[in-house]
Amino acid sequence: MTAGGIPLAAFITAMLAAGLVAAAPLVLAALGEAVGEKSGLLNLGIEGMMLSGAFFGFYAAYQTGGALWGVLAGIAVGLTLGLLFAVLTVSLRVDQVLVGLAITIFGGGLTAFLYRDIFGGQNPSLSVDTPRIAIPALSGIPILGDAMFNQGLLFYLAFLLVSVFAFLLARTRFGLQVRAVGEHPFAADASGVDVTRTRYLAALIAGAMAGLAGAFLSVADLKIFQVGMTVGTGFIALALTMVGGWNPYRILLASVLFGLLRSLGNGLQILGIDVRTEFITMLPYIGIMVALALLAGRTSLPAALGVPYARGRR
């Protein structure tokens, strides 16, 4: 069987691979956001942090020629903006939505400015080496193998981190503290949990993961930077965090579904099937709203989400 001149099996493999690659940065950013939200921090700056991670990751990889430096730069800038978010929302107790949007606007302007200022009208692409690593045996599975087990290192890392974050949130002391300060900061404080420290750490994790997700986009996946290249990916990750109910495995599921829906659009176009691509590209967004509507009432939000904490005040 063929589809648009391509063997059907190869076509499905390509679509699966594209969907999973699209899901990887969403998973990364959403995992960090889940930790942040569990601690009571709603980070709308995730979009700007991701974009900054993409730019500084790209720039570092461009200058050094090493993908690793790009990834580290992405994490570093994410950490910096995460720290800024924590200072403003945790220490200064400014509204989280305001601070988040401010960081997103700033990140968009800063990266666009620097990119145009440094590269002028040029749009260089990276010549870094991000080798595909085929996992023995598994990569030989028909159809699935090549899509899931013949990818770059960062791709595997994204999916490995799902288990790491699940363990972190559910099984560690830190995870317990995060959940405690997100549900009831007063009780947590009274029982000796340092609310400020926990929320700072959560914000730093959220920032680092958003920066890493951005670096994945520019350094590992596309190997280019474009002005505003995240086009809402950060916000989507934020929504997927909620769709996944702050559970890393459900976040993974939601992200993969979103990624596959996205690659479906391109796939149908390649097949020459006469479906307006716009309908397919907007499906994931509508899917998120439908999923949230269906889940409404069944997921319980961290009780203190969005609420600043000050000792002795409630």
Burial 69-100 (b: 16+ CB within 10 A, else e): bbbbbbbbbbbbbbebbbebbbeeeeebeebb
Q: Which is nearer to other proteins, 22 or 148 (CB)?
A: 22
Q: Which is nearer to other proteins, 200 or 235 (CB)?
A: 235
Q: Which is nearer to other proteins, 39 or 151 (CB)?
A: 39
Q: Which is nearer to other proteins, 171 or 276 (CB)?
A: 276
Alpha helix ranges (H) inside the chain: 8-38, 46-64, 67-86, 96-119, 144-148, 153-171, 173-183, 185-190, 195-215, 233-243, 248-271, 277-295
For the CB of residue 30, give the shortest distance to other proteins in the complex, in Å. Answer: 13
Q: Which is nearer to other proteins, 149 or 258 (CB)?
A: 258
For the CB of residue 292, give the shortest distance to other proteins in the complex, in Å. Answer: 5
For the CB of residue 10, give the shortest distance to other proteins in the complex, in Å. Answer: 28
For the CB of residue 68, give the shortest distance to other proteins in the complex, in Å. Answer: 26
- Per-residue tokens: 214: 């951005």
Q: Which is nearer to other proteins, 117 or 129 (CB)?
A: 117
The closest alpha carbon to 36, from 190, 299, 241, belongs to 241
For the CB of residue 49, give the shortest distance to other proteins in the complex, in Å. Answer: 12
Instruction: List contacts with other proteins (CB under 8 A).
Output: 42, 44, 48, 84, 88, 92-99, 101-110, 112-113, 116-117, 227, 232, 235, 238-239, 242, 276, 278-279, 281-282, 285-286, 288-289, 292-293, 295-297, 299-301, 303, 305-308, 310, 313
The closest alpha carbon to 260, from 20, 30, 31, belongs to 20
For the CB of residue 85, give the shortest distance to other proteins in the complex, in Å. Answer: 10
Question: Which positions ≥6 away from 186 have C-beta within 8 Å?
Answer: 309, 314
Contact 308, 196 (CB under 8 A): no
